[in-house]
Amino acid sequence: MTPKVGVLALQGDFREHLAVLAGLGAEAVPVRRARELEQVQGLVIPGGESTVMDKLSRAFGLREPLRERIADGMPVYGTCAGLIMLSDRVLDALPDQQTLGGLDVTVRRNAFGNQLDSFETDLDVDLLDGPPVHAAFIRAPIVEAVGPGAETVAALEDGRVVAVRQGNLLGTSFHPEITGETRFHEHFLSLL
Amino acid sequence: MTDTLAPSTASGSADSSGPGTGTARVKRGLAEMLKGGVIMDVVTVEQAKIAEDAGAVAVMALERVPADIRAQGGVARMSDPDLIAGIVDAVSIPVMAKARIGHFVEAQVLQHLGVDYIDESEVLSPADYVNHIDKWKFTAPFVCGATNLGEALRRITEGAAMIRSKGEAGTGDVSEATKHIRTIKGEINALKAKSPDELYVAAKELQAPYELVAEVARLGKLPVVLFTAGGVATPADAAMMMQLGADGVFVGSGIFKSGDPAKRAAAIVKATTFFDDPEEIANASRGLGEAMVGINVADVPAPHRLADRGW
């Protein structure tokens, strides 16, 4: 049976994720409500503004259902803001900003600086077969500390961690969904 | 994402950062991340914080909102660097700021100040009535206004990484925003229906490069994000723009010229996310206090219409 997966569609580049997942043969649907979350077997949290996703997920009663599904082991893949949402600890957050948590890591928002420091580069990722990943970092976060529960998946040449996983959770600082890279999404679908 | 017409890196910029920066992909990519969001005009640090707390996806830092520019008249220019730098320091979301059409030195200054997006804006008085800024030269991305598809494609050809339909800023009257987003969407649909041999004449009529016209016909959309702007004042206005196919909305005077800016800002954010759900739009619209008073575009004499600036 075709797996049914969701993309959190409160704000951000959720259409790009929906297109990648559909291209891989998954049935991919936008998720903005708790009842839509109940219908999916896995979830992607897209790039966007983590402050906005946090506020809207609380305002529309999604936060607790999301936390319960993550605790139950639902596969979740977060890119950029999605990685922030999955992290247990955030630096340079708004005073009242909350995350969903699940990844035992500390991330720093906008860790590279402002948009002038956004960049593209190639990354070696042991988790994936094939050539290096071409990665776009856009006002991206960095994983500053990886706790004992989590595992580094990719780092820049200088050692700064930009992809992590823990159980069924995967997070990347960068955006495979806008560079034509599908292997992270394939890996996510393999967890279902 | 396609990079037709897109040089791989910005060149000639004194502020150019490390390798791989300033590419068309990261410039257009930031706009992709703003989709489904609301970008709010702010004139003080306090307003910027209110906007961020209300769920703005970015703020536009300026000295006067368009309604005041319109009321006070005179030449409108780039804002004081102290004001812009103060807002850049105060919030964690992206900060945009406006340069005059064609004023490449104002744009250089804004890039130097570290703004995340430069708006080459008709809301300010144009500095050049012939040329727009060569936006490929900058590491910072640009958003530009457009009233129709040809104008949008000319701006993209010059390097714009994001387009906003213009509307009529500072009026609180959404009718021009409606007209412009419908025009752009309609012209894209017309292109999609054309056979390949008809696209050459279409390019001539749109006064845009053939390759870009062919790309839009193939994609069925612009190769960059399309927001709408100019006259959005209520949650229902924002939701209507989204239903008409905008990727997100700019709200200028509509928030901080209203009775309860924090509440109205949060309401417009909610209505933009749930733009297709009348129940949520109704909930968001309750008890917001007074909307900005506004002026009907029909009452604005033609020489004072901002949307006519730019070509």
Where in chain B are the domains?
A: 24-304
- Beta carbons of A24 and A189 less than 8 angstroms apart: yes
Q: A89 in contact with B at a CB cutoff of 8 Å?
A: no
Of A9, A138, A179, the CB nearest to B33: A138
Q: A174 in contact with B at a CB cutoff of 8 Å?
A: no
Minimum Cα–Cα distance from A33: chain B residue: B274
**Sign of the torsion formed by the C-alpha atoms of B78, B83, B85 and B91:** negative
Residue where the block lists tokens 């970008």: B39
**Measured between CA atoms, how close is B305 to chain A, in angstroms?**
32
Closest C-alpha among A119, A97, A124, A116 to residue A108 = A97
Q: Which residues pair with A152 in a beta bridge?
A: A164
Could you give the CA distance from residue B260 to residue B300 in angstroms, rounded to a whole number?
A: 26
Closest C-alpha among B241, B270, B278, B238 to residue B254 = B238
Can you name the CATH fold of B24-304?
TIM Barrel (3.20.20)
Of B36, B95, B117, the CB nearest to A11: B36
Structure pTM? 0.94
**Measured between CA atoms, how close is A3 to chain B, in angstroms?**
26
Residues of B in contact with A12 (CB under 8 A): 33, 35-37
Taking an 8 Å cut-off on Cβ atoms, the answer to whether B52 and A94 are in contact is yes
Could you give the CA distance from residue B220 to residue B66 in angstroms, rounded to a whole number?
A: 32
Is B116 annotated in a binding site? The answer is no
Could you give the CA distance from residue B278 to residue B285 in angstroms, rounded to a whole number?
A: 10
pLDDT tens series, chain B, 311 aa = 344 444 444 443 445 568 899 999 999 999 999 999 999 999 999 999 999 999 999 999 998 888 888 888 889 999 999 999 999 999 999 999 999 999 999 999 999 999 999 999 999 999 999 999 999 999 999 999 999 999 999 999 999 999 999 999 889 899 999 999 999 999 999 999 999 999 999 999 999 999 999 999 999 999 999 999 999 999 999 999 999 999 999 998 899 989 999 999 999 999 999 999 999 999 999 999 888 878 888 888 887 888 888 88
